[in-house]
Structures are given as structure tokens and as C-alpha cells.
């Protein structure tokens, strides 16, 4: 949680709201909380690295472990979480298990976030 000091510019001097706008936006935000598991999965720096790597190529568990510098068990744990949250999918080929992104929407989210980061760094 970010704690910011309150100033007189942070709050309205009176309590009044736009009923039409509030009613519309109340309907719009219904269900948005269902995105929380996705963002929770992406909030861990290691999983974020894994997802970014998966956005570039399909990888086996051993590849992922090597990329993130972890054990196969740790990589497998992260990949299971990413699969259960719908971010990644797996396929077995003989004794190997390969992972890829479940769809390209997550890759789009990552690329958008990277552009946002670069934009912010260039303006600071």
C-alpha cells in the first residue's frame, strides 16, 4: 500500500457525485476483481521473468529453471501457479514437459507495461 500525505487538493471540499456517471461505472467495474489472480501471478518478480521468457518462446521446465537460476522443483512450482491462474499452458512430449503462454493477451500486457516503464524512465 502506498501512503501519500493528504493535502487540501486530494479531496473534495463537499460531498457530491455524478449519479449517472457513478451508475454507469458501477456496472462497468462488476467482475473486474476476477482479474486479481492474473495480476497476483504476475506480481512475483520471478514469475514475471518466466512469463516474459514464455512470451518469447516455448520452454521446458529445465530451460525455465536455468533461465531463472533455480532448481527444477522451484521452476515447476512457479509454472504450476502460472498454469492454474490461466497464464501458461503445458504439453507433454515423452518425458519432457513444455510450457507456453496460454494466449497472447498476457504478452500484450507485458509489452504495454514495458513501454510504460520506458516512457516513465525517459521522463524522469
pLDDT above 70 for 38: yes
This model's pTM is above 0.75: yes
Residue 16 lies in a domain: no
How many structural domains does the chain have? 1
CATH number for the domain that contains residue 112: 1.10.10.10
What pLDDT, in 10s, does the model give residues 62-102? 999 999 999 999 999 999 999 999 999 999 999 999 999 99
What 3 state SS string does the chain have? CCCCCCCCCCCCCCCCCCHHHHHHHHHHHCCHHHHHHHHHHHHCHHHHHHHHHHHHCCEEHHHHHHHHCCCHHHHHHHHHHHHHCCCEEEEEECCEEEEEECCCHHHHHHHHHHHHHHHHHHCC
Q: Which domain holds residue 60?
A: 36-122
pLDDT above 60 for 2: no
Residue 1 lies in a domain: no
Amino acid at each position: 500500500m502506498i501512503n501519500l500525505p493528504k493535502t487540501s487538493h486530494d479531496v473534495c471540499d463537499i460531498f457530491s457525485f455524478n449519479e449517472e456517471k457513478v451508475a454507469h461505472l458501477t456496472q462497468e467495474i462488476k467482475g473486474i476483481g476476477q482479474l486479481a489472480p492474473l495480476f497476483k501471478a504476475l506480481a512475483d518478480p520471478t514469475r514475471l521473468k518466466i512469463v516474459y521468457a514464455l512470451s518469447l518462446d516455448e520452454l521446458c521446465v529445465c530451460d525455465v529453471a536455468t533461465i531463472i537460476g533455480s532448481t527444477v522443483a522451484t521452476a515447476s512450482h512457479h509454472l504450476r501457479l502460472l498454469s492454474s491462474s490461466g497464464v501458461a499452458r503445458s504439453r507433454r512430449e515423452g518425458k519432457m514437459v513444455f510450457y507456453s503462454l496460454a494466449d497472447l493477451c498476457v504478452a500484450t500486457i507485458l509489452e504495454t507495461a514495458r513501454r510504460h516503464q520506458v516512457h516513465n524512465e525517459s521522463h524522469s
